[in-house]
Structure 1
Amino acid sequence: MSESTPDPRLRALADRLRPGAARTVKVVGFDGADTLVRLVDAGAETAEIGRIPQHEASMRRTGHPSELFELGQEIRAEEIGRWREGQLHLSARACEIPALRSFLLALDPGQVVTGTVAAVHNFGVFVHVDGEPDGPCTGFIRVPDLSWEWITHPSEAVEAGQRIAAEVIIAETRSGQVMLSLKALKEDPLIRFADQLGRVLTGTVTRIVPFGVFVRLAPDVMGFLHLSELTAEPDRPPEQFVDEDEPITVRVTEVDLPRHRVRLALPHGSDRS
């Protein structure tokens, strides 16, 4: 199967969410809703003070970190970066469930996993990934990662109880989830469509938005025609020029594989004003 170029935005997201090193720290105080800790190396307390922000303290809802930690308590926490003049920030929630952390760390981007769809919502799909520890539902598929085809709701792609195979985008220890992609296991339809660049095609208007219209050029290929291609008067809405489900003749001006984007223009000489 041919593969498209990875989306640079997903690459950047994966790099930002990549798990950091787990450290042993001792709770030394509280600063508002944050927890102050001192790093422990080789069993010895160091001079460096780190900070666990409130939202990184636990996956459970708590009013104050003192409900979770005691002064002098040693815990494990994951490094997440340095802020406030170089102060180390850490996440205790990333190490809260050792079995979950171990499961997530064993998953690599590009790895194919199997699982069962647990729930389908308008914002995405939750998946019980095979091998995950009892309790948490670790898999999540965003709507854009479900299908190459245009869908209006995730239920058009999967249903609860369905067995699926998906590709790992990133396993994120701080959220306790692994982002998955169904469409990554299928060929990007734009790969075969790329030879249509510059050609004049007839498609169907599927959606009208304030700044232009989406045009279906093939069952799984959608292009975008900007409002500026329809009129030189930006204050006039696209509905004045086209209707949904109306055939329209367009020219393919760009096929962007990394961003899975097709840009369109009206053929030379066309005038819809």
Structure 2
Amino acid sequence: MDWQSESPELWAFLESLHRGEILSGTVVAIERFGVFVALDDGPDHPTLPGVGFIVVPELSWRHIDALTDVVEIGQRVSCEFLQFDTFNAEARLSLKALQPDPFQAFADRTVVGQELRGTVDRVLPIGVLVHVADGVVGLVPSREYEGRLPAISPSEDFEAGEEIAVFVTEIERPQRRVFLSRSEAVPREGVELPM
């Protein structure tokens, strides 16, 4: 669809927005792929529930199981404008951009070698994900278990919800990743966290 000619008022509104601008509106639809927002100052969208759209990763800094854990229909929200999606003629928004990042606060107060208490979140083939702070999950790589006799897998050693002691081996601020060890160990090499 040629939005520019089919809906010139909508196109002009979206072109007038600037990255970083704060927009307010009402949540009008929640889909598995994101949330539609009817913007206070924007026109109606001819085919979508709202002119604003928040993709799932932009809803919260924390892992969420259900979008309704973060927003609900009819809720008023303020979001940061990210970009003009010209294909769908919508304003891409971020709810989390206006919230403090719990990872940065964690990284400010945590050092490599520090012992933490955490709760096992999930056990994966690459290792064990451990919830170490509000909104922060770190990885104990499975390579810690390789070469042990008898050979065990992390799933045999850990159970979701179990509280364990871990040591911080590396903090990667730009990637927002924390690597952990069950014992004081050298920093990890070449392990990728799932996104």
TM-score by length of 1: 0.59
Aligned position for 1:179: 92
Q: Deviations over 1:78-135 (max 9, x none)?
A: xxxxxxxxxxxxxx44554211111111111111110101112332211112222123
String of CA shifts for 1:220-272, please: whole Å, max 9, x gaps: 22212222234347x96431121100112212223333332222222237xxx
How far apart are residue 164 of structure 1 and its match? 0.5
Equivalent residue for 1:101?
11
Q: Which has the higher strand share?
A: 1
In structure 2, the residue corresponding to 1:175 is in which secondary structure?
Answer: coil
Q: CA deviation at 1:185?
A: 0.6
2:83 corresponds to: 170
- Counterpart of 1:88 in structure 2 is none
Q: Are 2:37 and 1:127 aligned?
A: yes
Tell me if the contact between 1:230 and 1:241 (Cα under 8 Å) persists in the aligned partners: no
Amino acid at match of 2:134: P
Find out whether 1:249 has 2:165 as its counterpart: yes
State whether structure 2 residue 130 is matched by structure 1 residue 209: no
Separation of aligned partners in 2, 1:155 and 1:230: 38
**CA distance 1:154–1:232, shift in 2 (3 Å):** farther
User: Of 211, 228, 252, which residue of structure 1 is paired with 2:143?
Assistant: 228
Which structure's CA Rg is the greater one? 1
* 2:38–2:44 CA contact under 8 A, matched in 1: no
Contact 2:104 2:173 (C-alpha < 8 Å) held by counterparts: yes
The amino acid of 1:158's aligned partner reads V
1:136-185 Cα deviation digits (max 9, x unpaired):
41212122211122221111011011000011121222221222111111
Matched, 1:200 2:110: no
Name 1:152's counterpart in structure 2: 65
Measured in 2, the distance between the counterparts of 1:171 and 1:126 equals 14
Cα contact 2:39–2:51 (8 A) shared by 1: yes
**Which letter does structure 1 place at the counterpart of 2:42?**
E
The answer for the alignment partner of 1:76 in structure 2 is none
- Moved runs in structure 1, 4+ residues, more than 3 A? 92-96, 230-233
**Aligned match of 2:191:** none
Q: What residue number does 1:32 align with?
A: none
Number of matched residues?
178
Instruction: Note closer, same or farther for the CA distance 1:106–1:258 as it changes in structure 2 (3 Å cut).
Output: farther
User: What is the rounded CA distance, in whole Å, between the counterparts of 2:131 and 2:152 in structure 1?
Assistant: 23
With normalisation by structure 2, the TM-score equals 0.81
Q: Secondary structure at the match of 2:14?
A: helix
Q: Percent identity?
A: 39
Supply the AA of the counterpart residue of 1:244: A
SS where residue 99 of structure 1 aligns?
A: helix
- Decide whether aligned partners of structure 1 residues 95 and 221 sit closer, same or farther in structure 2, where only a CA change above 3 A counts: farther
User: Residues 105 and 171 of structure 1 are in contact (CA less than 8 Å); yes or no, is this contact kept in structure 2?
Assistant: yes
- Measure the CA separation in 1 of the matches of 2:135 and 2:71: 17
Q: Quick one: which amino acid aligns to residue 205 of structure 1?
A: V
The alpha-carbon distance between structure 1 residues 168 and 200, as it changes in their structure 2 partners (threshold 3 A), is: same
